[in-house]
């Protein structure tokens, strides 16, 4: 297979019309992943996590919606901005027991709090109901995660 350098960059209004930008009318899932480092310890737990320790957490945010007239559900930059403002900036390089609401800082508790933060942001920015939060996953280690979905949170079909 040979590859050629394009001779002309596609121009809106000439090579493609605005009405052609939207290819379909289906819902799609759009996802972005983040990492952050934090310290915590668990209460009422007998094991290593009883002691103060840290993790490099991985957060995956999955949103759902139909594409707009440009073929975009939600801009990846908007997902990044919302997650950064509502979660990452508040938790990165912090002691979770101090900055989260009163809770045992388990992945299971934290992922529900994160879901609520993201869902509330979509609503306050007027993006909901066109864009809905579908799933949030929080990896505490590369092989262990907790997740919640819209259905589990009562925000989606049963």
Q: Which residues participate in catalysis according to the annotation?
A: 49, 93, 140
CB atoms within 10 A of CB 158: 4
- 56-70 in b/e form (b: 16+ CB < 10 A) is ebbbbbbbbbebeee
Using CA atoms, how far apart are residues 100 and 109, in angstroms rounded to an integer? 10
Q: Name the strand (E) or helix (H) holding 79.
A: helix 76-83
Q: Give dist(CA 97, CA 41) in Å, integer.
A: 7
Tokens standing for residue 117: 């933060």
Question: How many angstroms separate the CA atoms of 37 and 54, rounded?
Answer: 7
Would you put residue 59 in left (φ > 0), alpha (ψ -120 to 50) or beta?
A: beta
CA angle 143, 95, 79 (to 5 degrees): 65
């Amino acid at each position: 297979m040979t590859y050629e350098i394009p001779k002309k960059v596609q121009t809106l209004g000439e090579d493609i019309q605005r009405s052609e930008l939207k290819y379909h009318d289906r819902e799609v899932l759009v996802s972005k992943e983040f990492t952050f480092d934090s310290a915590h310890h668990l209460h009422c737990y007998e094991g290593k996590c009883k002691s103060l320790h840290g993790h490099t957490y991985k957060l995956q945010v999955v949103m759902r919606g139909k594409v707009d007239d440009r073929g975009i559900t939600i801009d990846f930059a908007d997902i990044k901005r919302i997650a950064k403002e509502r979660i990452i900036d508040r938790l990165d390089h912090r002691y979770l027991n101090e900055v989260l609401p009163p809770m045992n800082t388990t992945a299971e508790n934290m992922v529900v709090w994160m879901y609520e933060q993201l869902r509330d942001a979509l609503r306050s920015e007027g993006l909901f109901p066109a864009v809905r939060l579908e799933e949030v996953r929080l990896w505490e280690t590369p092989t262990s995660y907790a997740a919640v979905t819209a259905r589990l949170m009562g925000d989606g079909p049963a």
